[in-house]
Structure 1
Amino acid sequence: MKHVILFGVTGSIGNYIIKALETLNDVRLTLFVRNSLKLSKEQKEKHRIIEGDVMNYKNVKDALKGQDIVYFGLSGNLDAMVKNIIKAMKETDVKKIIAISSMGIYGASWKATLCGKKDAPGFLNSIMLTVMKPMFRRHRKLADIVENSGLDYTILRPGRFTYDDEISYQITYKGEPELGRDISRKSIAHFVMKIVKAPEQFTNQNISLTKGV
């Protein structure tokens, strides 16, 4: 039985991640949340729920005991959050982390990630880049911290999330050109499920995930 703890499942892709992992018979899920009221009755009945603060080291360390894999899909103060989790993973001997970052964090595809030249005039693209650059910096720092953690990691850099009811994606690795711009939430969840099913498959990989072109 694999024990998987999920940080960041009350956001926009959380339900998709949970549903995808529920298809694996050999997985037991723990949902770490600040407020369990955001979870459904079914989720509370089926899974172990821990209410806590990811910035509280004791909360995190206690939650990680007995876990095998960490899923990190939080937003906000990413570097402080992931540092807390990584420290606790090392002290509780949890080896694997799957971290959600963002397409475009290495600079070359910021513009394509946000709009695409066909979707908006140049001045609007420029404004969006100015507004969104801090988000890209936070996600870049997250990726850097995870890569240098010494843990077994898989970093996912998905494109712009859609609600399309499809599983369709292409992957590229760090250093390769990113393909396309969008990715369905269902596709992200499916890929996370593949990693949990076979954690050795994408060991220490930094992957861009998009529908492709």
Structure 2
Amino acid sequence: MKIALFGATGGTGRQVLNQGLEKGYAFRALARSPDALEQVQGLEIIAGDVRDSAAVERCVTGTDTVICVLGSHGGAEPIEAEGTKQIIDVMRALGVKRLIAVTSLGVGDSREQVPAFFRVIMQLTLKKIMAAKEAQEQLIRGSGLDWTIVRPGGLTDGPATGSYLSGTDKSIKATRISRADVADFVLQQLVDTRYLRQAPAVS
């Protein structure tokens, strides 16, 4: 299986890449800063921006599945929605159907799964990013693709534990989870279709 990966230089994206390579998957990763990724066997690096349809096409062409782990940081304009629209348009044009995207608990119908104090933080400091993720999810749901949206809780840089909750039950609340565990769950979706066109939480 060859995977097109968007967001490979972020914390979760690096975990997806490293764990996927260990499992024997081949990746093509789009990166604005290609030097941030190490040239290793099984990885093809494409220099470019996810908002550029030609760059996205170079990344997706010839792949079987797309994993989107786009994230925004600091004062930069959020790219989740705009980038995902380019990815979806290219996937449709090329006939690539499987899309696995990471957003966040607190988006869409998962708002009540987030503690009240964090909902306040989301409104005060993460409003633009959360709005971009909302728009991103709406684009994915309306795409006609074979999508799965993965919604993690609060991300940490801790080790993979394999001990986490996942599923679509609204009783799963947002707690801290390592990016390594999120990547583990994301990679499971490559061979498991139980969450096809669903948005499981992982926490």
TM-score by structure 1 length? 0.83
2:81 corresponds to: 79
Contact persistence 1:16–1:186 (CA under 8 A):
yes
Opposite residue 65 of structure 1, the aligned amino acid is T
5 Å-filtered alignment, 1:35-74, equals: 35-41=33-39, 43=40, 45-74=41-70
Query: Match of 2:167, SS?
Result: strand
Cα distance, 1:60 vs structure 2:
1.1
Q: Distance in 2 between matches of 1:7 and 1:74?
A: 6
1:23 paired with 2:22, answer yes
5 Å-filtered alignment, 1:149-164, equals: 149-164=143-158
CA RMSD of aligned residues (A): 2.0
Q: 1:62 to 1:160 in 2, by over 3 A?
A: same
Contact persistence 2:46–2:58 (CA under 8 A):
no
Q: Distance in 2 between matches of 1:169 and 1:91?
A: 37
Opposite residue 2 of structure 2, the aligned amino acid is H
Structure 2: give runs of 5+ residues left out of the alignment: 72-77
Opposite residue 94 of structure 1, the aligned amino acid is V
Query: Match of 1:74, SS?
Result: coil
Percent of pairs with identical residues: 26
Q: Distance in 2 between matches of 1:8 and 1:32?
A: 7
Q: Distance in 2 between matches of 1:126 and 1:99?
A: 25
Q: Distance in 2 between matches of 1:128 and 1:79?
A: 17
Contact persistence 1:113–1:159 (CA under 8 A):
no
Structure 1: give runs of 5+ residues left out of the alignment: 115-124
Contact persistence 1:65–1:92 (CA under 8 A):
yes
1:206 paired with 2:178, answer no
Cα distance, 1:48 vs structure 2:
1.0
Cα distance, 1:130 vs structure 2:
1.4
1:108 paired with 2:107, answer no
Q: Distance in 2 between matches of 1:110 and 1:170?
A: 14
Cα distance, 1:110 vs structure 2:
4.2
Contact persistence 1:103–1:113 (CA under 8 A):
no
Bigger Rg over Cα: 1
Query: Match of 2:137, SS?
Result: helix
Contact persistence 2:3–2:28 (CA under 8 A):
yes
Q: 1:113 to 1:79 in 2, by over 3 A?
A: farther
C-alpha distance after superposition, 1:4-34 (max 9, x if no partner): 0100010122221112111323x21111111
Contact persistence 1:113–1:181 (CA under 8 A):
no
Query: Match of 2:151, SS?
Result: strand
Cα distance, 1:83 vs structure 2:
0.7
1:169 corresponds to: 164
1:98 corresponds to: 100
139, 157, 162: which one aligns with 1:145: 139
